[in-house]
Amino acid sequence: MSKDKGKTKGKDIGTREQFEERVKRLGLSNDNLIDLYRTMCTVRHFEYMADRLYAAGKVHGTMHLSAGQEAVAAGISLAIHPDDYLINHHRGHGHFIAKGADINLMMAEFLGKDTGYNRGRGGSMHIADFQSNNLGANGIVGGGIPQAVGVGLALQMQKRKEICICIFGDGATNEGVFHEAMNMVALWKLPVLYICENNKYGMSMDVERAVAKLPIAQRADAYGIPWACVDGNDVVEVYDAMKIAADHVRSGKGPYFVEAITYRYFGHSKSDRNLYRSKEEIDDWKQNRDPIMRFTKHLLQSEILDESQAQKIDGQVEQVILKAMEFAEASPEPDISTLMEFVYA
Amino acid sequence: MPEISYLEAIRQALWQEMKRDERVFLLGEDIGRYGGAFGLTHDMLDEFGPERVRETPISEATIVATAIGASLLGMRPVAEIMFMDFVTLALDQIANQAAKMHFMFGGRTTVPIVIRMPGGSGSGAASQHSQSLESVLMHFPGLKVVNPSTPYDAKGLMLASIRDPNPVCFIEHKVLYKTKGEVPEGDYTIPIGIAEIKRAGRDITVVANNIMVMKTLNVAEKLSKDGIEVEVIDPRTLLPLDTETIINSVARTCRLLVVHEACLTGGWAGEVIACVVGSPAFDYIDAPVRRLGGKDIPIPYNRGLEKFAIPQEADIEQEIRALVEGKI
């Protein structure tokens, strides 16, 4: 683990040769790379559309947007299998989209519609899709981390090949259950890949004021769990680390912990006025370290995409999001007569 | 019919269900070689092995969360919280997670778990090992709260709880563990959400749970000799509560007393009374409706203090007499 791991590279994105050598070593095809680009663009468009819908008063509650963190979601999804299980956190739109969620049903859930993933009962913070082994996002910080122990245990008892991916933020690693769960997955060598998406702030609390010893990932040492800390705004680096981690977990060697350093552009939630961080800091991340911008530069430089192809993908993605919005808006509200449903199975 | 203890009845249910359904497994602290803090899982490790009698570190929240996660993949876990008091350590997983997942996810998943927890005072275990927290758990829609008072009910309700698709908090009582009763050897279930009239009587309805059922039945026996016939109802399940059985009974007896060991303030007796006085049975009520609960204090250690922290038979008798004889 080199010292500068976990710091984002910023403007220095490396040479064309370095990028191509890396992509070749990882066996990534042009299609893979274009898929990563498309996924990141989809997440970005989705988040900005969600923000616009909120501003227009069409979203009832709050939401936690992940714009700026797209490389983590895209990198994970390419490294895992479609039938792997996902336990997600409240800032989870990107991971769901990257894992192949139906964007229409997600958008409908945002608007609280009956056609949404949760039939309008959950909203942005609780999206789940059990058919694609997406076991849901959690509104309690760290709430899903110990549940991954159970998913991993069931997979082990049922002698299955799938693994459990559990994603959470930096703030969640200060919850007691984080430590209980890390201990138990390590004790029982469970097939769980823990991913800490460190976006620098737990609501307004700077990670450096909240975590006694950084990087967060070194906490895994206490439990004998192998770990890595990567630049979460470099999608290829994220993929690289996640692939190593996922392969390790799938091979039966037990859990793995990856920390991805990233940054969120929007506030924590809709009440956030960004009083705890400067405009300069936000602008620096947006202008110099943006994961999509950095990846696009590589793709253009290596002639995997040209400007017009990139714009075309962007346009296609925008259409998908617009259609999802139209689907959501046209969908019916849950009937009030169904209020008491789903309390008990 | 064989007579076995309340503890053995629960163990028998676990044993038989693990034989019948390979998805069922136990997890908790010291449930293996030690056999559980109260010996309830004795010899189960040898029979079912460490994978299905899974001993955990002292991590109550993650014990419950592990049950939740495994249930989402089709398992039927039975988690043990060694003392009910420790349920507070796991309350996020019970109240915010297990109870809400079916609803919050639009009915698209279920959480079929059982969380066993022995509660109650009487063993000199002091304030942090003696509470009756059932009323706390009743405040989370989506949970079922089961609370048997006899060996027969304990076995039948445990089998029903494991087979139920919802998260069930299964509350046991430490002092009841050694009590004996007739229990069929075979498979049977008692429906969750159905109260039982443990003794029929015309003069007053007394609703009581776990150890207070036994105490009230003793009092009823005694009062019967004086011509006072007490109807004793054990709700058996506190959530969902079988208010119909209680309301119908009060419409016949015209009097109501609710007895529980849990602290009086915020206790479930208030819920029962509210249901009754808000029902058509109100028209039949001839006496004040009353409740007897534990004192609003932490359970003390000293034998004498501990005893008088919760209702005694003499208290129950006094209340019943006063209500029936029109002295209140």
Q: pLDDT tens for residues A128-173?
A: 999 999 999 999 999 999 999 999 999 999 999 999 999 999 999 9
Measured between CA atoms, how close is A250 to chain B, in angstroms? 17
Quick check: A154 and B109 CB within 8 A? no
Q: Is any Cβ of chain B less than 8 angstroms from the Cβ of A151?
A: yes
Quick check: B69 and A341 CB within 8 A? no
Quick check: A150 and B97 CB within 8 A? no
Catalytically active residues of B are: 129
Provide the pLDDT confidence category of residue A36 given band limits of 50, 70 and 90: very high
| Residue B325, token pair as written in the block | 């004889």
In three-state secondary structure terms, A145 is coil
Q: Is any Cβ of chain B less than 8 angstroms from the Cβ of A137?
A: no
Percent of chain A with pLDDT over 70: 97
Spell out which residues of chain A touch residue B56, defining contact as CB-CB under 8 Å.
184
Quick check: A149 and B108 CB within 8 A? no
Domain B3-182 has CATH 3.40.50.970: yes
Provide the pLDDT confidence category of residue A6 given band limits of 50, 70 and 90: low
Q: Which among A122, A145, A155 is the nearest to B105, CB-wise?
A: A122
Q: Which among B73, B92, B104 is the nearest to A118, CB-wise?
A: B104
- CB A165 within 8 Å of CB A139: no
* Poorest-pLDDT segment among A7-11, A308-312, B175-179: A7-11
Residue B37 to residue A236: CA distance in whole angstroms: 51
Quick check: A180 and B62 CB within 8 A? yes
Q: Which among A138, A341, A343 is the nearest to B142, CB-wise?
A: A343
> Which pLDDT belongs to residue A5?
53
Phi first, then psi: give them for residue B182, nearest 5 degrees: -75, 130
> Which pLDDT belongs to residue A14?
86
Homologous superfamily of the A16-325 domain (CATH): Thiamin diphosphate (ThDP)-binding fold, Pyr/PP domains (3.40.50.970)
In three-state secondary structure terms, B209 is coil
pLDDT in tens, A50-105: 999 988 988 888 889 999 999 999 999 999 999 999 999 999 999 999 999 999 99
pLDDT in tens, A239-290: 999 999 999 999 999 999 999 999 999 988 878 888 999 999 999 999 999 9
Decide whether B3-182 matches B196-324 in CATH topology. yes
| Residue A112, token pair as written in the block | 């609280």
Measured between CA atoms, how close is A187 to chain B, in angstroms? 9
Residue A218 to residue A225: CA distance in whole angstroms: 9
- CB B183 within 8 Å of CB B151: yes
Residue A202 to residue B73: CA distance in whole angstroms: 31
Q: Is any Cβ of chain B less than 8 angstroms from the Cβ of A121?
A: yes
* Series of mean pLDDT values for 10-residue runs along chain B (328 residues): 97 98 98 97 98 98 98 98 98 98 97 98 96 98 98 98 98 98 98 98 98 98 98 98 98 98 98 97 97 98 97 98 94
Residue B24 to residue A148: CA distance in whole angstroms: 19
> Which pLDDT belongs to residue A3?
43
Average pLDDT taken over every residue of chain A: 95
Quick check: A177 and B62 CB within 8 A? yes
DSSP letter, residue B94: I
Provide the pLDDT confidence category of residue A1 given band limits of 50, 70 and 90: very low
List the domain boundaries for chain A. Answer: 16-325
Residue A125 to residue A180: CA distance in whole angstroms: 24
Q: Which among B59, B65, B103 is the nearest to A147, CB-wise?
A: B65
Q: Is any Cβ of chain B less than 8 angstroms from the Cβ of A152?
A: yes
Percent of chain A with pLDDT over 90: 91
List the domain boundaries for chain B. Answer: 3-182, 196-324
Q: Is any Cβ of chain B less than 8 angstroms from the Cβ of A161?
A: no
Is a pLDDT exceeding 50 seen at residue A2?
no
In three-state secondary structure terms, A77 is helix
Please count the CA atoms within 13 angstroms of the CA of B133 that sit on its side-chain side.
24
Is a pLDDT exceeding 70 seen at residue A7?
no
Quick check: B70 and A121 CB within 8 A? no
Provide the pLDDT confidence category of residue A46 given band limits of 50, 70 and 90: very high
Contacts (Cβ under 8 Å, ≥6 apart) of A290: A68, A233
CATH number for the domain whose boundaries are B196-324: 3.40.50.920
pLDDT in tens, B207-226: 999 999 999 999 999 999 99
Three-state secondary structure of B97-165: HHHHHHHHCCCCCCCCCEEEEEECCCCCCCCCCCCCCHHHHCCCECEEEECCCCHHHHHHHHHHHHHCC
Q: What is the largest CA-CA distance in chain A?
A: 62
